[in-house]
Amino acid sequence: MGMNLGIDFSSLLQWNDFTVDLAAFAVKFAILVGGLLQLPPLLVWIERRVPALMQRRRGPNRVGIFKWRLYGLLQSLADTVKLIFKEEVVPDGAHKVFYHLAPVFCVFPAFLVACAIPYGPDLAIYGYKIPLSVVRMDVGFLFIFAISSLAVYGVALAGWASNNKYSLMGSLRASAQMISYEIPLGMSLIPIVLIYGTLDLGKIVEAQNSFFQWGVFTAPVSLLIFVICMFAETNRAPFDLAEAEGELVAGFHTEYNSAKFAAFFLGEYVSMFVLSCLASTVFFGGWQVPFVSYDALVTMLGSPNFVAPIGILMLLLKAAFFMWVYIWVRWTLPRFRYDQLMSLGWKFMLPIGLANVVVTAIVLAVLRFK
Amino acid sequence: MEALYFVPEMLFYVISGLILLSSIMVVAARNPVTSAIFLVVDLFFVAALYAQLDAHFTAAIQVLVYAGAIVVLFVFVIMILNLKPDALRGIRFSLGEALVLLITLAGFVIVGSELARTAPDLTTPGNLGSAAIEMAGGNTYVVAMRMFTAFLWPFEMASVLILLAIVACVMIAKKDKRVTKS
Amino acid sequence: MIPVENYFVLSSLVFLCGLAGVMFRRNLIMVLMSIELMLNAVNIIFVAASRHLAQVDGQIMVLFVITVAACEAAVGLAMVIALFRRYGTVNTEFLRLLRG
């Protein structure tokens, strides 16, 4: 036999629950990160072409390889290359450490939150059950809110560290807005937790097995609040006061350029995608196929492994719908005034959210009373 | 299988080291914003410690409330007041202060050694291990069942406390018109 | 399995950090942050003990401590803002009106 090195490497490579979990985690995480990095260029392209269609213009359509222009799809690639290779200018008097750290604080929570979304039904490979979310935990719901509440630091630090009054004002606006709308956002999901009785996102999707058990039917008011807060939470129009171009130059990332500016873009688009996924998971049945139950699909196709791609496709379609809503709303509604934004959040969304929780609780108590 | 048993223990020491390092940085950093960011890091790793102890709900609440709300308040106030970094030189060690630190340290040593001596059974995992919790319906379920039965009154009182704090904050931080006029 | 004493040592060290901060820092906001650190040290012990005594009460206590910490931070910071408006400083060495 071979040399004895004193360490039994074969024991490290035995397949047991722990090593399978670890390997599956690594593979899923790599795929997720790789996929999410492709999002911003695609979304930027859509965000330029869609308003062009709406406003009867052409939008970017020049960049291409030789004569293939692909409807300007390569414009995003060109922009990315430009952003990454641009010279980086750090403003004088900036707090160096936090200036460089702020984009990380923006991107990191967005990617972490994406780990908790269940993208499809469980896979069964060689007798091991592998859930199609990077980490599956019994408090997935709270995890998402906890981690996404950390994104505020990226915004606050970016504005403070760049030593610019427009940046600071933009960051104070943005972070105040994010904190204010986090409360109704969380409030809108409490009825869902009450109805399905779990904080595990995977179980919530499994509970929406039949079409009329989808969250959109069981908690319609929640959907309304959630969608409105979704826009505010990601600082998107009509709540994009943080980067109101006419007033604040560009908000908290005024002083950022090149790759760090691209990092803010990445964070914004990933968190848009995650919130869209969350909305479809909670209100539109996640990876469930409408009108066909999971068990019926498994018997039809023969194996849960064949259902998984369909599930992923369904979730991505539903998420794509919400992304479309994001862009659609942006080019339809004008921007709010800041006091209007705050009073909408605190005086309308919060009371409606509270009333929604109370009414849902009472109805559930009456329905489940024996 | 046996080869991987050291992983949780290693994780504990790594996390504790990071907690200690960040707590020292919280206290020692000159710039208040640096302190606040290290406080966030500290709270995050403490939450990781909770998660390792199978207290998932508490871990999530820790990050959500502590790191996501309380420290944001600190950061806001520091930014609004535009505080300059402290001068750390002017610190004087008075005899009384040194005595307080020593007595606290001595107290910890006494209590800790007493704990280590009189509680021989503490190293065995209790019924709150991950398997037992899975059986009982998950950590959140277990916490909720206890919270809304035995701790119902404290829970309600906590909400009253929060209401009081809100009113107090508004009253204290409101601009006092009489002062600004004179 | 990690013995509960390790958590105790960790907690007491974090607590000492917080105590030192309260005693030696002259910035009111820093003092408040050090208090948060001390509360947090206590929480570590609560959760570790709850795990090892197989009682969930410790975790519930942590939730109450977090509530109290939130209230304390909010009221404390409101007072800091009021003081800053009045005296233009948050340095504890200059805020000695009660010392006569």
Residues A76-132: pLDDT tens digits?
Answer: 888 888 888 888 888 887 888 888 888 888 888 889 889 888 888 888 877 777 888
Extract the tokens encoding B7.
Answer: 């992983």
Contacts of C16 in chain B (CB under 8 A): 101, 104-105, 108
For residue B73, what are its two tokens?
């308040």
Closest residue in chain B to residue A172, using alpha carbons only: B76
Please report the pLDDT score of residue A353 as a whole number. Answer: 92
CA dihedral B131, B133, B135, B141 (to 10 degrees): -160
Nearest C-alpha neighbor of A245 from the set A147, A170, A333? A170
Q: Interface partners of B (3+ CB pairs, < 8 Å)?
A: A, C
Among A204, A76, A77, smallest CA distance to A140 is for A204
Residues B16/C26, Cβ–Cβ less than 8 Å? no
Q: Which domains, ranges and CATH numbers included, belong to chain B?
A: 2-85+126-146 (1.20.120.1200)
pLDDT at B129: 59
Q: How far is A273 from chain B (nearest CA, A)?
A: 21
State the Cα–Cα distance between residues B90 and C25, nearest whole angstrom.
Answer: 10
d(CA A152, CA A172): 10
**Paired residues of A68 in beta bridges:** A65
**Would the CB atoms of C34 and B27 count as touching at under 8 Å?**
yes
pLDDT in the model for residue B158:
92
Contact A181, A348 (CB under 8 A): no
- pLDDT tens, chain B, 182 aa long: 445 556 777 888 899 999 999 999 998 888 888 899 999 999 999 999 988 888 888 998 999 888 888 998 898 888 888 777 766 555 566 777 778 888 888 887 787 777 666 654 544 445 555 666 666 667 788 888 888 888 999 999 999 999 999 999 988 888 766 655 44
* CB-nearest partner of B79 from A139, A150, A156: A156
* Nearest Cα residue to B21 out of B41, B36, B51, B7: B41
Rounded CA separation A310/A296 (Å): 13
Burial class of residue C72 in the structure, from the number of CB atoms within 10 Å of its CB (0-12 exposed, 13-18 middle, 19+ buried): middle
Segment of A2-11, A246-255, C32-41 carrying the highest mean pLDDT: C32-41
Q: What is the pLDDT of residue A5?
A: 47
Element of type H or E holding A125 = strand A123-125
**A277-288 pLDDT, tens per residue?**
999 998 988 888
User: pLDDT band at A50, cuts 50/70/90?
Assistant: confident
Inspect the structure and tell me whether chains B and A have 3 or more CB pairs less than 8 Å apart: yes
pLDDT at A19 exceeding the cut of 80: no
Q: Is B22 an 8 Å CB contact of chain C?
A: no
What was the pLDDT predicted at A4? 47
Chain A residues within 8 A of B61 when measuring between CB atoms: 142, 146
CA distance C69 to B46: 15
- What is the ipTM for the molecules in this complex? 0.90
Determine the pLDDT at residue A159: 84
Query: Using 50, 70 and 90 to split pLDDT, how confident is the model at A247?
Result: low
Q: What pLDDT does residue B136 have?
A: 66
Angle at B143 between CA B64 and CA B11, to 5 degrees: 60
Contacts of A167 in chain B (CB under 8 A): none
Averaged pLDDT for residues A224-229? 90
With CB atoms and an 8 Å threshold, state whether C24 touches B168. no
Among B55, B86, B122, select the one facing C59 at the smallest CB separation.
B55
Does B118 lie at the interface with C, CB-CB under 8 angstroms? no
CB distance from B34 to chain C under 8 Å? no
What average pLDDT is seen over chain C? 86
C18 with B161: Cβ contact below 8 A: no
- The mean pLDDT of A35-56, rounded to a whole number, is 86
pLDDT digits (tens, 9 = 90+) for C68-83: 999 999 999 998 888 8
- Give me the residues of B, 36-95, that contact C with CB < 8 A: 36, 39, 42-43, 46, 49-50, 53-55, 57-58, 61-62, 65-66, 69-71, 73-74, 77-78, 80-81, 83, 86, 90-91
Which tens digit of pLDDT belongs to each residue from A248-272?
Answer: 667 777 778 778 888 888 888 898 8
Q: Which residue has the higher pLDDT, C37 or A3?
A: C37
Q: How many contiguous H segments (helices) and E segments (strands) does chain B have?
A: 9, 0
Percent of chain A residues topping a pLDDT of 90: 11
Q: Which of residues 132-171 of A touch B (CB under 8 A)?
A: 137-139, 142-143, 145-147, 149-150, 152-153, 156-157, 160, 168
**Quick one: C33 exposed, middle or buried, by C-beta within 10 A (0-12, 13-18, 19+)?**
buried
pLDDT value at residue A120: 84
Rounded CA Rg of chain C: 17
Q: How far is B58 from chain A (nearest CA, A)?
A: 10
Which of A129-138, A152-161, A300-309, A358-367 is the most confident on average? A358-367
Give the three-state DSSP class for A68. Answer: strand
State the average pLDDT over residues A162-173: 82
User: CB under 8 Å to A139, separation ≥6 — which residues?
Assistant: A199, A200, B56, B57, B59, B60, B139, B140
Q: Environment class of residue B54 by beta-carbon count within 10 Å: exposed (0-12), middle (13-18) or buried (19+)?
A: buried
CATH topology of domain C4-99: Helix Hairpins (1.10.287)
For C67, which of B83, B150, B158 is closest by C-beta distance? B158
The domain locations on chain C are 4-99
- Cβ atoms of C92 and C28 within 8 Å: the answer is yes
Nearest CB to A16 within list B1, B37, B62? B1
Quick one: tokens of C49?
């003990």
Q: How confident is residue A2, by pLDDT bands cut at 50, 70 and 90? A: very low
Report helix, strand or coil for B119. Answer: coil
* Average confidence score pLDDT of chain A: 83
Instruction: For residues C63 and B65, give the distance between their C-alpha atoms in angstroms, rounded to a whole number.
Output: 10
The predicted model gives A166-190 an average pLDDT of 86
Distant-in-sequence, close-in-space partners of B65: CB < 8 Å, separation ≥ 6: C66, C70
If pLDDT is split at 50, 70 and 90, which confidence band does A240 have?
Answer: confident
| Distance, CA of A72 to CA of A163 (rounded, Å) | 37
Q: Would you state the pLDDT for residue B1?
A: 42
pLDDT of residue A43: 87
